[in-house]
Amino acid sequence: MLFLAVFCGFLAENYRESLTNETIEKEYILSLVEDLKVDTANLNSYVSFKKVKGHLMDSLAIMLVNRNHHLFGNQIYYLARQVFYESPFVYSDGTIQQLKNAGNLRLIKKRVIVEELLKYEKQVKVLIDWEENESLTKSTFREMGGRVFDSQALNATMNDEMNFVVPKDNPQLITDDFQTLNEMAFQVHYLSKMCFGNSKRAASLRTSAVNLLGLIESEYKLD
């Protein structure tokens, strides 16, 4: 009888632990779903932003090497300010970091979810790495800027409310040296292509997020 009582107690404890783990798992899954929904919304905005910026940078590069660039001072200075304007993708990684740091990935019984989640995280890191490369290109542009732009005119493209404004007095570049302008245009074209590339990477990441959401909803029968 004593053995039976101990054994039943052991089963009861295991059952309670199982219920607790299932509850924790469900909480993590629901939290993960919310993170992925936020990522999807952020990626939608990011993709659109990068496409627009890519086109703006192409326009800037073309005008810089145009032999009549003095006619486009307003647009050139306005677009030059856009080089440093960003709307970065912010990864909602709160849930996955909790799962990894607390060693709770084991609680996710659907191993296919864990595998796809880790793949998604690697894909996010690729995008972040490319964003860092984009930042390096902008740094090169900044270093060269003093040889091309009038500092006061460029500063005037942002008002007191920190909004970008188009100059009205057609400010001029401080050099007509084609080699210098071509070097600057090269950096801007490179930045443009990185913007388009990151837009595509983000679009692929968005597809992965949507697919992962669908997989979670299917595996866990979420409403």
DSSP states of 71-98: GGHHHHHHHHHHTT---------HHHHH
Amino acid at 188: V
C-alpha angle with apex 72: 68 to 74, nearest 5 degrees? 160
Q: Which amino acid is at 141?
A: F
C-alpha distances (whole Å) from 78 to each of 112, 116, 117, 149 are 49, 43, 41, 11
Cα distance between residue 199 and residue 51, in whole Å:
6
State residue 12's pLDDT score. Answer: 38
Compute φ and ψ for 83, nearest 5 degrees: -55, -40
What is residue 158's DSSP assignment? B
Provide the β-strand partners of residue 164: 158
For the question of whether the overall pTM of this predicted structure is more than 0.75, the answer is yes
pLDDT of 79 over the 80 cut: yes
What is the pLDDT at residue 81?
93
Residue type, 5: A
* Per-residue CA distances from 126 to 74, 87, 119, 166, 208 (Å): 36, 17, 11, 35, 13
Locate the domains of the chain by residue range.
Answer: 2-219
**Can you tell me the mean pLDDT for 174-189?**
96
pLDDT in tens, 114-151: 999 999 999 999 999 999 999 999 999 999 999 999 99
Pair of tokens at residue 161: 């409310």
Please determine, for residue 53, whether its predicted confidence score (pLDDT) is greater than 90.
yes
In this predicted structure, which of 54-63, 96-105, 147-156 has the lowest mean pLDDT?
A: 96-105
Query: Which 3 state secondary structure label does DSSP give 169?
Result: coil
Read off the tokens for 178.
Answer: 């084609």
Q: Please state, as a whole number, how many other Cβ atoms lie within 10 Å of the Cβ of residue 190.
A: 17
Q: Which two tokens stand for residue 204?
A: 């692929």
pLDDT tens column, 184-208: 999 999 999 999 999 999 999 999 9
Q: Say what the pLDDT of residue 99 is.
A: 87
Start-to-end CA distance of the chain, whole Å, equals: 46
Q: What CA–CA distance (Å, rounded) separates 144 from 89?
A: 27
Distance CA 223, CA 217 (A): 7
User: Residue 6's pLDDT is what?
Assistant: 42
